[in-house]
Amino acid sequence: MKVLDKTISQLTIPTPFAVGDVHVYLLKGDTLSIIDAGVKTKEGWEALKTQLNELGYTPNDVEQVILTHHHPDHIGLIEAFPRAETMAAHRNADLYLTRDETFFAEYEQFFRQFFVACGVSGELMPGPGELGGTLKFAGTGKLTDTLDEGDRLPGHDDWQVIETKGHAQSHLSFFRESDGALIAGDHLLHHISPNPLLEAPIGSDVRPKPMLQYRNNLKKCQSLDIQMVYPGHGRIFSDVNDVISVSLQKQERRAEKVYTFLQEKAQTPFELCQQLFPKQYENQLNLTMSETIGQLDYLENEGLVTTTLKNGVYVYDVTK
Ligand SMILES: [Zn+2]
């Protein structure tokens, strides 16, 4: 636990995921809010209670829950605050919080069709329910308030909402202009570049392109005067523009590698994925396909590659 200033403290909650600990933030203003809520495990709950106590509070004192995005390591303990009447996040988070059955069915159908069109071999196709494997660590609930670009956090007028989709289609960050502090969720991390993850479209037929969103939102952050980043994982940092430049460059280098593979021969996304991640693609299909599609979306947007549909499967080639 770290007291950052008079109004904000950082609590650190263990997770069973590879990413390690997750940070949540307690915000004091006209009301007492918690930003993000760790994972739903016994260890997570104990860590949350203990650190709230160290700050002189109990879970009963928390009046609002605000979320940066819908991933399980950020929404686990949303049910742990009996007096919190407000739950606020991007509207896309609500489908996950409420476990909207229609949405989950469409989600699985989208991925099955999309993976077929990417050339993924049959035995690797996710079975029913497989995509929601980590949901047991996530809490359930319903949003009372939706937040969008430019809104102010309820009860904390000094914090402005910045839409930062990419890692998730519900991702928001919160910016305080007075001192340039940014509560960044997983959009800006010091030690790792967050994965722009593929998600099914919400309320449209066109799939989102998370890598392009992520890059645009990195550039959006470059244009803000951010002095300090309070992230969802890893250390607090102030060298924001360096971290952003490094992330952009790393991504461009990965895209160059994909481009080199395509110069050799035209390929399906799945063939590229196998070349890029020979050891990981079988066990981490979603993650490795997200990364592959992300680089292809970037190259296509730059006009460097084109795609054609052959027998129902996308084939990418360098622009001739
Ligand atoms: Zn996270």
pLDDT in tens, the chain (320 residues): 999 999 999 999 999 988 899 999 999 999 999 999 999 999 999 999 999 999 999 999 999 999 999 999 999 999 999 999 999 999 999 999 998 889 888 888 999 999 999 999 887 877 666 656 677 888 899 999 999 999 999 999 999 999 999 999 999 999 999 999 999 999 999 988 888 999 999 888 899 999 999 999 999 999 999 999 999 999 999 999 999 999 999 999 999 999 999 999 999 999 999 999 999 999 889 999 999 999 999 999 999 999 999 999 999 999 98
Please indicate whether the domains covering 2-97+134-245 and 261-318 agree at the CATH topology level.
Answer: no
Distance from the alpha carbon of residue 230 to the mean position of ligand 1, in angstroms: 13
pLDDT score recorded for residue 262 = 97
Distance from the alpha carbon of residue 114 to the mean position of ligand 1, in angstroms: 25
Would you state the structure tokens that stand for residue 181, as one six-digit string? 């502090």
Q: What is the torsional sign of CA 96, 200, 18, 91?
A: negative
Distance from the alpha carbon of residue 266 to the mean position of ligand 1, in angstroms: 35
pLDDT score recorded for residue 191 = 85
In degrees to the nearest 10, what's the CA dihedral of 240, 241, 243, 244? 120
Distance from the alpha carbon of residue 22 to the mean position of ligand 1, in angstroms: 6
Distance from the alpha carbon of residue 17 to the mean position of ligand 1, in angstroms: 9
pLDDT score recorded for residue 192 = 85
Distance from the alpha carbon of residue 166 to the mean position of ligand 1, in angstroms: 13
Kindly state the DSSP code that residue 234 receives in the 8-state scheme: S
Domain ranges of the chain: 2-97+134-245, 261-318
The dihedrals phi and psi of 94, each to the nearest 5 degrees, come to -60, -35
Distance from the alpha carbon of residue 74 to the mean position of ligand 1, in angstroms: 6
pLDDT score recorded for residue 127 = 67
pLDDT score recorded for residue 155 = 96
Distance from the alpha carbon of residue 233 to the mean position of ligand 1, in angstroms: 7
Distance from the alpha carbon of residue 97 to the mean position of ligand 1, in angstroms: 16
Identify residue 90 by its one-letter amino acid code: H
Would you state the structure tokens that stand for residue 88, as one six-digit string? 């606020």
Distance from the alpha carbon of residue 57 to the mean position of ligand 1, in angstroms: 24
Contacts of 188 (CB under 8 A, 6+ apart): 173, 182, 218, 221, 229, 231, 240, 243, 244
CB 168 within 8 A of CB 96: no
pLDDT score recorded for residue 82 = 94
Distance from the alpha carbon of residue 185 to the mean position of ligand 1, in angstroms: 7
Distance from the alpha carbon of residue 215 to the mean position of ligand 1, in angstroms: 18
Q: How many CA atoms lie within 13 A of 16 on its CB side?
A: 13
Distance from the alpha carbon of residue 20 to the mean position of ligand 1, in angstroms: 9
Distance from the alpha carbon of residue 65 to the mean position of ligand 1, in angstroms: 16
Distance from the alpha carbon of residue 286 to the mean position of ligand 1, in angstroms: 16
pLDDT score recorded for residue 129 = 62
CATH class of segment(s) 2-97+134-245: alpha beta
Kindly state the DSSP code that residue 135 receives in the 8-state scheme: G
Distance from the alpha carbon of residue 294 to the mean position of ligand 1, in angstroms: 19
What CATH number matches the domain at 261-318, 1.10.10, 1.20.1510, 1.10.760, 1.10.540?
Answer: 1.10.10
Q: Which of 17, 285, 313 is nearest to 131 (CA)?
A: 285
How open is the CA angle 141-142-143, to the nearest 5 degrees? 130
> What does the alpha-carbon distance between residue 210 and residue 156 come to, in Å, rounded to a whole number?
29
pLDDT score recorded for residue 132 = 62
pLDDT score recorded for residue 128 = 62
Distance from the alpha carbon of residue 88 to the mean position of ligand 1, in angstroms: 18
Distances (CA, A) of 59 to 4, 97, 144, 206, 227: 20, 20, 19, 41, 30
